[in-house]
Amino acid sequence: MRGVRWRRAVSQVGRSLTVWAVSTLTMLVLAGILPDFRLQSADGDSATTIAVTAAVGAGVFGLLSALVWPLLVRLLLLVPAFVLGLLVFFLNGSLLLIALRLTPSGQTEAAPETAVIVAAVMSAVASATGAALAVRDDDAYRRRLYRLADRRRRGGPPCPSAPGTVLLQLDGVGHDVLAAAVRKELMPTVAKWLGEGPGGRPTHRLTPWRTDWSSQTGASQLGILHGSNHDVPAFRWYEKDTGEVMVCNRPTSAVELQRRAVVRTGDGGLLTVDGASRGNLFSGGADEQALVLSIATRRRSRETRSRAGYFAYFSDPANAVRTVLSFGAEVAREIVQSTRARLRKERPRVKRGGLYPLVRAFATVVERDVVVAAVTGDLLAGRSAVYADLVAYDEVAHHSGPLGRDTEQVLGRLDRALALIEKVAEHAPRPYRIVVLSDHGQSPGETFHARYGLTLGDLVRAGCGLPVPRQAERTHSGAEARAAVRAALRRPVEEGGERHRPSRRRSEPIVLASGNLGLISFPDVPHRMSKEEIDARHPALLPTLANHPGIGFLLVRSEEHGGLVLGAGGAAIPLDRLDDEPGPLAAFGPGAADAVRRTHGFPHTADIMVNSFHDPADGEVLAFEEQIGSHGGLGGAQSRPFLLSPLALSVPVADGEALAGAEHVHQVLRRWLRESDGPQVPLETAPEERAA
């Protein structure tokens, strides 16, 4: 045993000396090629003196990076993540300048901008050298990763031998998009798991599932992690009892939604037993949390605060440099791709300027790198359950479309992240089952505004007889809406510039959009208005919306029928007759009626729920937001995400049964977590669920 320890110590010293030597050589090379960086006096020094100076400078810089850098990052945790990324180069350069000042010769010199470059190159070379040497020794590689990522676990209970479960959410990747990426060989790791290719043996199964009407991350992830997404009608909605607009990715709203789910289920969430939540909107009840929105407004301990993941990642300066370089490359990539799309006059297209290139780079580089690093630490710590969200595809698909070359490149990078996590899992102290899933898909199509020249809000205002922007007035849809108002009010056709002026005593409707789902609320009425009340106040509004070619159907409350689905040509189908007479829902496929009925029962469903047109032939919808890849309502691929699970786990659902709704997915995942701790327990025979 003592001999093994000596060999490990000698090996570690050897690797450290090798990294030092490579860093010294790197500094010498940079001093030779950069005019503003020198390691000798103006009169010149001997080669030995220059080499010693470089060695001392490299050694001091290495020590400062190891000792001072983590403290700097910890002090900067309150700085926004984007700003922290930009500060990386300058802080690293400052450490190099300090190291040069501490050399014995005192003759070293570097311009500040040159020091930034030298520090970045040396950090990257040292990191690559250390990693390459550790990889040569598999056991050393495991120990190195364990030390870096799992210091918090020391002193805790021994790691269980039962398999752990890591759940990786590829945000916005639909079932059909994943299957197509495998066929195109864009995702070789997923293809290997599915046994694609000659002689391949599958280790995973691919299962589609159906979202609720609100096909977006807030509703899906809340249901998956906490077992209830009751009363989440959309991504954003107005609540009359509080006068607040809830937005799923707003920290205060996320806190409240998680609280409501916990109260409703009486359970902390999917990850309450030794779990970790990474990059999510909600915690799932995990003790270990990082980059979780629902804890962003609360004071947390060092171990569980939402920004802890940034510290864990950026505490290694090489990680910081690599991520910032990739960030810059992604910004350049977006500018090139958007310019190419504009020059080629591609359609559909939305504006991609302003801050969007930075937002995209953060989602596709910074968030991915930090989350993957956090998951790596969780695996090596032997945590029982990990749930992490990778948002890169969803962000790019909104602006580039879900089926283009831009998004295919993102899918390839996500596959490499899966491959890295799989490799790290091989070195974990317990076996792991890797489950990959998505929260929704994305449906292509141009925007409602691009096709008709006015927004949903403009159409609602016109249908209510309210003033609309002049540009919207001149559109065909605006003219039709004004004509409908005049006809409903039995007013003559306008021949001059006279317009109907609505009463100022009534508040204007609030119109919110969630992808291709629109919500219309009248804030001065404390309850959910009925069709009869809406017709009495605005007799042209519902016919204007229902007969518009860009709208698929409406949902309203009816005093006579309870709930009605309205469509073109005067179609009005009560909710209890939708199975036999789907009417406007026929184009939206199986499960649409159940999803609409469920949403109708929510306390905060809007006065009028509006779902856009959907073309079943090409899967297109019309987003009420500026997105050419959208999700949030019914129609097309957005409602068809996937669940990719190991064959070692029981089948998600029996043959012929549909996996419908995020709450159903939660039940499946709970069953799989139970299976990891003992024999497989089918969902329908679980004791606690039978009692429920």
Number of domains in the chain: 3
d(CA 13, CA 201): 42
d(CA 216, CA 319): 32
Could you tell me if 656 and 645 are in contact, meaning their C-beta atoms sit under 8 angstroms apart? no
**Strand ranges of the sheet holding 288-290, from the earlier edge strand across to the other edge:** 204-208, 642-646, 432-437, 164-170, 385-390, 275-278, 288-290
Asked which of 592, 627, 662 is the last residue of a domain, the reply is 627
What phi-psi label fits residue 8: left (phi over 0), alpha (psi between -120 and 50 degrees) or beta? alpha
Same domain, 74 and 195: no
Amino acid in the structure at residue 157: P
Most confident of 21-25, 51-55, 612-616: 612-616
Is 494 part of any domain?
no
**Between 90 and 85, residue with greater pLDDT:** 90
- 288-347 confidence digits (pLDDT tens): 888 888 775 554 444 444 455 566 676 666 676 677 778 888 889 989 988 988 888 888
Residue 645 three-state SS: strand
d(CA 547, CA 543): 6
Same domain, 310 and 333: yes
Same domain, 125 and 173: no
d(CA 108, CA 213): 65
Same domain, 647 and 511: no
Single pTM value for the model: 0.79
- 384-410 confidence digits (pLDDT tens): 999 999 999 999 999 999 988 899 999
Range of the domain at 187: 164-234+249-438+638-691
Is 152 part of any domain?
no
Positive or negative torsion for Cα 40, 42, 45, 47:
positive
Asked which of 573, 605, 627 is the last residue of a domain, the reply is 627
d(CA 455, CA 516): 12
CA separation (Å) from 409 to 4, 393, 403, 672?
A: 45, 9, 11, 32
Residue 325 three-state SS: helix
CATH number, domain at 302?
3.40.720
Out of 138-152, 221-235, 245-259, 312-326, pick the least confident: 138-152
Do the strands 517-521 and 164-170 form a parallel or antiparallel pair, or are they unpaired?
A: unpaired
**Between 99 and 566, residue with greater pLDDT:** 566
Task: Read off the tokens for 210.
Answer: 């159906």
Average pLDDT over residues 123-135: 56
Is 241 part of any domain?
no
Please identify which residue in the block is written with the tokens 């991915």. Answer: 368
Is 207 part of any domain?
yes
Q: Is residue 86 very low, low, confident or very high in pLDDT (cuts 50, 70, 90)?
A: low
Is 169 part of any domain?
yes
CA separation (Å) from 227 to 221, 438, 568?
A: 9, 16, 36
Same domain, 122 and 176: no
Is 22 part of any domain?
yes
Mean pLDDT of the chain: 81
Is 243 part of any domain?
no
Asked which of 594, 627, 660 is the last residue of a domain, the reply is 627
Is 485 part of any domain?
yes
Same domain, 544 and 416: no
Same domain, 392 and 453: no
Task: Read off the tokens for 489.
Answer: 């009010």
- Per-residue pLDDT at 152: 43
Same domain, 274 and 422: yes
- 503-543 confidence digits (pLDDT tens): 444 678 999 999 999 999 999 999 999 999 999 999 999 99
Same domain, 622 and 642: no
Same domain, 399 and 480: no
Positive or negative torsion for Cα 96, 101, 105, 107:
positive
Same domain, 583 and 660: no
d(CA 692, CA 674): 17
Same domain, 267 and 129: no
Query: pLDDT at residue 218 above 80?
Result: yes
CA 443, 216, 337 angle in degrees (round to 5)? 50
Helices (H), 344-475: 356-361, 367-381, 392-400, 405-425, 448-452, 456-463, 470-473
CB-based burial label for 289 (10 Å; 0-12, 13-18, 19+)? buried
CA 286, 217, 608 angle in degrees (round to 5)? 130
Do the strands 385-390 and 510-514 form a parallel or antiparallel pair, or are they unpaired?
A: unpaired
